[in-house]
């Protein structure tokens, strides 16, 4: 609609209008406005690029014997700067719908900035087209004009050459990863399951231990995954699903034991619990059976691990959508509480779920269990008011007992280690509000 409004207001009816037969960019057709913004923002997200590049291209690059100490890091920086340089290419891809070949070889003679149009003959169809220069495209073209690379072509590499087809494809995949828009890959088990994460786990434990050194704290935890998600992937090795999930559970335990042996608690992150592990739409009998089977698998994984060493977390994911299809806490809290854990963390600071404390009017918290309602939203860059945090904390405490409530955040502030949905300054302000809210609630629950 943006294109059509621009064309009708800019030109007379006698001029050729925007040609609907122009092939639209797959990005433009398949991505929402928010996803297109996220895709373009990924060109400025160096942390996401480093995470992706280090495990792909850099991992395949041979290490030279006499390279400088910072050679690897410098190479990543160099590669990221080249990705950033290519951003105008993808802006035009999103907002003109041109094919890659037409974009790569677009010439300045086809660009009329004063009239606000691009006129060119499409290479494949040999048809003339007239395309509007919308604001984002104009900004990208202005950036290209300011570069000190003289050429008849609009979109050039830093060396002053048109982009190759392979380079465009590679940058596209990298940006899709950075924007978390890459299509999911289904895994298939074709051999015995074993744990191979000892080295990165040791590094994580060392980093956490170093961060806590000299700090005054009561306890610290490290997050860990559950085998339940992997159990839904394909199995071509084990003779039965039961054998497959048992192997997954046994392999996962090695990580759990290492975390406990290092003196930390485990937080098991299980967002699927908030949808009854994907069975929320099943018939009641089937839903209850599947939920019970999942809890049994989780408890098998946790066998012989003391419950007081385990926090169990669920949430609705980093989802800035309407949340109208979320289950209520009341719908999944009972099977969740059957997990052999001491503390249970769940999402609260979400307009669809702030009232969920009512669940404990019907559900009795088992003896020895603790709840950790999340009082900081992980999906919005606002800072919650301490008074609201205190008020909700007191409501939970009134229902389950003041000794049985801790408060935390709804979830992590980023969906991946290399992404950043919440600005760090906002994150620290949220934690300050959480601490103040806890102090206010404590004063109300333990009045002098």
CATH number of the CATH domain containing 212: 3.20.20.210
pLDDT per residue as tens digits for the range 194-216: 999 999 999 999 999 999 999 99
- Both 368 and 298 in a single domain? yes
Give the pLDDT band of residue 375 (cuts 50, 70, 90). very high
Average pLDDT over residues 2-18: 29
Out of 178, 206, 241, a domain closes at 178
- Both 237 and 364 in a single domain? yes
Tell me, what's the pLDDT at 417?
55
Cβ partners under 8 Å of residue 419, min gap 6 = 45, 47, 48, 178, 180
Out of 178, 211, 234, a domain closes at 178
Strands (DSSP E) contained in 191-278 are 221-225, 234-235, 265-269
User: In this structure, is residue 183 part of a structural domain?
Assistant: no
Residue 68 reports pLDDT greater than 50: no
Average pLDDT over residues 65-91: 68
CATH number, domain of 83, equals 1.10.443
Note down the domain range covering 137. Answer: 2-178
- Both 16 and 153 in a single domain? yes
Question: How many structural domains compose the chain?
Answer: 2
- Both 318 and 397 in a single domain? yes
User: In this structure, is residue 371 part of a structural domain?
Assistant: yes
User: In this structure, is residue 309 part of a structural domain?
Assistant: yes
Tell me, what's the pLDDT at 274?
92
Out of 178, 211, 231, a domain closes at 178
- Both 149 and 273 in a single domain? no
- Both 226 and 150 in a single domain? no
Q: What is the pTM of this model?
A: 0.64
Tell me, what's the pLDDT at 65?
45
pLDDT per residue as tens digits for the range 263-302: 999 999 998 899 998 888 889 999 999 999 999 999 999 9
Using alpha carbons, select from 226, 227, 220, 223 the residue that is nearest to residue 201.
Answer: 223
Token representation of residue 448:
């002098």
- Both 170 and 192 in a single domain? no
CA distance 267 to 269: 6
User: In this structure, is residue 287 part of a structural domain?
Assistant: yes
- Both 160 and 22 in a single domain? yes
């Amino acid at each position: 609609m943006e294109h059509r409004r621009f064309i009708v207001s800019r030109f007379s009816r006698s001029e050729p209008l925007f040609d609907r037969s122009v092939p639209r960019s797959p990005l433009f057709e398949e991505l929402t406005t928010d996803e297109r913004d996220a895709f373009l923002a990924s060109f400025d997200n160096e942390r996401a690029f480093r995470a992706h590049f280090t495990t792909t291209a850099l991992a395949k690059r041979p290490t030279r014997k006499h390279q400088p100490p910072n050679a690897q890091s410098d190479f990543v920086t160099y590669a990221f700067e080249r990705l950033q340089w290519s951003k105008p290419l993808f802006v035009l891809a999103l907002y003109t719908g041109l094919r890659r070949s037409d974009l790569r070889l677009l010439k300045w003679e086809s660009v009329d900035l004063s009239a606000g149009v691009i006129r060119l003959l499409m290479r494949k169809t040999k048809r003339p087209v007239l395309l509007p220069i919308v604001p984002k495209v104009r900004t990208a073209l202005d950036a290209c004009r300011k570069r000190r690379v003289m050429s008849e072509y609009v979109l050039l590499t830093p060396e002053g050459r048109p982009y190759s087809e392979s380079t465009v494809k590679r940058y596209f995949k990298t940006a899709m990863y950075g924007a978390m828009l890459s299509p999911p890959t289904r895994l298939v088990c074709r051999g015995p399951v074993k744990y191979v994460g000892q080295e990165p786990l040791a590094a994580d434990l060392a980093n956490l231990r170093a961060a806590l050194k000299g700090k005054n704290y009561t306890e610290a935890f490290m997050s860990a995954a559950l085998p339940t998600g992997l159990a839904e992937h394909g199995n071509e090795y084990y003779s039965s699903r039961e054998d497959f999930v048992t192997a997954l559970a046994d392999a996962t335990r090695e990580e759990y034991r290492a975390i406990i042996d290092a003196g930390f608690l485990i937080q098991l992150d299980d967002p699927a619990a908030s949808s009854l592990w994907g069975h929320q739409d099943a018939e009641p009998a089937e839903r209850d059976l599947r939920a019970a089977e999942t809890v049994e698998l989780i408890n098998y994984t946790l066998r012989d691990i003391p419950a007081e060493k385990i926090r169990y977390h669920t949430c609705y994911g980093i989802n800035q959508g309407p949340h109208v299809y979320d289950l209520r806490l009341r719908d999944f809290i009972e099977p969740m509480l059957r997990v052999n854990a001491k503390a249970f963390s769940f999402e609260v600071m979400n307009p669809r779920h702030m009232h969920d404390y009512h669940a404990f009017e019907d559900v009795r918290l088992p003896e020895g269990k603790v709840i950790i309602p999340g009082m900081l939203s992980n999906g919005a860059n606002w800072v919650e008011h301490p008074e609201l945090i205190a008020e909700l904390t007191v409501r939970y405490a009134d229902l389950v007992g003041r000794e049985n409530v801790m408060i935390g955040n709804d979830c992590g502030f980023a969906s991946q280690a290399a992404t950043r949905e919440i600005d760090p300054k906002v994150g620290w302000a949220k934690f300050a509000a959480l601490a103040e809210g806890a102090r206010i609630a404590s004063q109300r629950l333990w009045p002098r």
